[in-house]
Structure 1
Amino acid sequence: MGAKTVNKLAVPGATLHYEIAGSGPVLLLIAGDGADAGVYSGIVGQLAAEYTVVTYDPRGNSRSRYDGKPADESVAQSAADALALIDAVAGDEPADVFGSGSGAITGLELITRHPDRVRMLVAHEPLCTEVLADAADARAFFEEVCSTYHEDGLTAADVVFMMGTGMDGDAMPPMVDLLPEYRELAERMQANAANFYEHKLLPYTRYVPDLPALKAVADRVVPAAGLESYAHLPARPIGVIADQLGWPVVMFPGGHGGYSSHPAPFATHLAQLLKTDTL
C-alpha cells in the first residue's frame, strides 16, 4: 500500500490527527465511540490497494486534542470535521465514506448536510436509538450507563454498556495477550472512555436522523450491520432506517467490530459495495 502519512488538521475547537494510505479515490473511514484511526488498521492495507484511505481520531479521542476544555459532542460539528478532512484530501471530488457506531451517525449527518461531498455512505450500526419504537427504554438504558460511570467508575460503566448492547463478545483480549500495536490502541481507547461517557454517549444516541433528507439520497446510503450482531441494540436502528429508505440491510462479517475480528473478508465486502452504483 506504500507509506502511510500522518497529518494534523486544525478545525474549530480541536486539531485532528489523520492518516493517509494508498492512492485512488478517497475513502474516509470514521471511527466510533472511544476509538481512533487505529481501530481500522486491519482493513486499511487491503483497501489502500484501490483507494486513498483516510482514517482519523475523532475530536477528543487519542491524538485529536480539544483546543480548550472538553465539551459535549455536537453531531453537526463531528460532520463538519469529516467534511474538513474530505476537503483537505479530496479537493473538489466527493469521497466514499464508511462509519461504524457513532462514526456511522457522523456519516448520516454528513450526507444529510453535504450530499454533494459523499459519493457513497456505508452506515454500519449507527446507535441512534431515537428511531426505535422502544426509544424511551433505550434512552433510559444509556442514562443508566452514564449514571453508573459517575457513581461507580469506568469499569462498572463498561460492563453495563457492553452487556446491555450485546457487545461483550467484541471485548479485546487481556492487554498482555495483545501485539504491541493493538496494545497501544487498547490503551488509547481505555484513556478515551471517560470522555466518551461524559461527552459523547448521550448526544450520539439521542441523535435523530433526518429521514426525508436521507430518502433523497437513498441510492447512495448503504445500511449495514454485522451478521453476529444484527439482533443486538447497536444494529437495530439501521433496520428502521433501511425500511424508511426502501433498502435491505447489508450484512458484514462478524459483529459490531467486524472490521477488527474479520478484517480480510470485511475489507473485501466493503470494496465490492463501493464499486456498485446503487444497492
Structure 2
Amino acid sequence: MPTIDVNQTKLHYEIRGAGPPVLLIMGATGDGGHFDALAEELADEFMVISYDRRGNGRSPVPDNWQTTSPEEQADDAAALLTALGTGPVAVFGTSGGGTFALCLMVRHPGSVRGAILHEPMLYALVDTVDAVPAPVRASIQKAMEVGGPPAAVKRFWCYVAGDDGWARLAPPLRKRLRDTASTLFGIELGTYELYMPDDETLAASTIPVRLLVSDDSPPVFAQMADRIAEILGADVDTVPGTHATYHEHPHELAEAMRPLLRRSF
C-alpha cells in the first residue's frame, strides 16, 4: 500500500497507467477509492494519480490536526506531485475536491496544466449561502443522533448519490468511509465551502479550465458551476448521473474529460 510523507502528513496514493499525468482530487469523504473505475478508464492514455486526502480512507489523521483549509489541501496535493516527480499535471476535482483543485491552480499554478472542476462547492457564488448545506444537515442529523459519524456518513452519501448510492460502493470503500467519518464531520465540513479567490486573480489565470455538471444533480450545482465558469471564461458541459457520476458513469465521464486532458499537454 504506497504512502508518502508530505506537508507534515502521510498520504496513501495510487498510480495507474503511463503517459501525461492526471491528478484526481476527491471531495467529501476524501477517499481516492471513489475514482477506481474512472482511473482505470483513463489509464489507457494517461498516468492517473489518485490519493486519499489527509485523515481520510487509508491516509491517517495527522497528530494534533483539528481543522483544515483549501490552502492546506492544495499544499498537500502540490507536495504529493513534487514528491512523485510528475511535473505539472492536469487535475480533476469533484465537489469539495473541485474547490481544492481551484485553490491548487491559484496557489501552485506551476503544478497545473489544466483543470476540470466537476460541481465545485463554491457557496460564495449562490444566491442563498445556506441553500446547499441546510438540506444536507437536515438529512444527516437523525442518523448522527442515532449512530454517530459512521451512520451519518451513510446518510450523507445517499443524499449525494441517491438512495442506492451507498449500495453501489465497494464494501472496503464503505468500511473506510465509516472508519474515517469523523474527519468529514469533525474537521472538514465548514472549512472550505466559502473559499473564493478574487475575480482579478481568477481572470489572470492562463490555465485552461472546463466545468462539468451532472444531469441529475440539484440546480444549485449548475448555478455555482455557471458562475465560476463566467469568471474564468470557461465552458460548462454536462455529464450523466448524479453528483457521484464517477461511480455511475465512469466511461462517459472519462470520455468527457479526455479532450481537455489532451489539450493540457
TM range (shorter): 0.7 to 0.9
Shift of residue 252, structure 1, vs aligned partner: 2.0
Find the counterpart in structure 1 of residue 7 from structure 2: 12
Find the counterpart in structure 2 of residue 267 from structure 1: 254
Are the aligned partners of 1:149 and 1:197 in contact in 2 as well (CA < 8 Å)? no
The CA deviation string for residues 41-87 of structure 1, in whole angstroms up to 9 with x for no partner, is 10212211111111100001011112314411221110001001111
Find the counterpart in structure 1 of residue 200 from structure 2: 212
The DSSP-based 3-state class of the residue aligned with 1:59 is: coil
Find the counterpart in structure 1 of residue 189 from structure 2: 201
Distance 2:112 2:2 in 1: 22
- Judged with a 3 Å threshold, the aligned counterparts in structure 2 of structure 1 residues 160 and 96 are, in CA distance, closer, same or farther, namely closer
Shift of residue 271, structure 1, vs aligned partner: 1.6
The DSSP-based 3-state class of the residue aligned with 2:254 is: helix
Q: Is 1:237 aligned to 2:224, yes or no?
A: yes
Matched-pair identity in %: 31
Find the counterpart in structure 2 of residue 3 from structure 1: none
Instruction: Tell me how large the CA RMSD over aligned residues is.
Output: 2.7
Distance 1:206 1:122 in 2: 19
Structure 1: gaps spanning 5 or more residues: 1-5
Distance 2:229 2:23 in 1: 22
The DSSP-based 3-state class of the residue aligned with 1:271 is: helix
Q: How many residues align?
A: 263
Are the aligned partners of 2:70 and 2:195 in contact in 1 as well (CA < 8 Å)? yes
Q: Is 1:41 aligned to 2:36, yes or no?
A: yes
2:125 to 116, 126, 131: 131
Distance 2:32 2:131 in 1: 32
1:224 to 212, 215, 221: 212
Find the counterpart in structure 2 of residue 107 from structure 1: 101
Find the counterpart in structure 1 of residue 55 from structure 2: 60
Distance 2:198 2:214 in 1: 24
Deviates more, 1:243-252 or 1:22-31: 243-252
The CA deviation string for residues 137-178 of structure 1, in whole angstroms up to 9 with x for no partner, is 446556667866765534357547854xx643562227xxx7
Distance 2:177 2:152 in 1: 16
* Aligned-partner residue type, residue 8 of structure 1: T
Distance 1:114 1:192 in 2: 28
- Judged with a 3 Å threshold, the aligned counterparts in structure 2 of structure 1 residues 162 and 172 are, in CA distance, closer, same or farther, namely closer
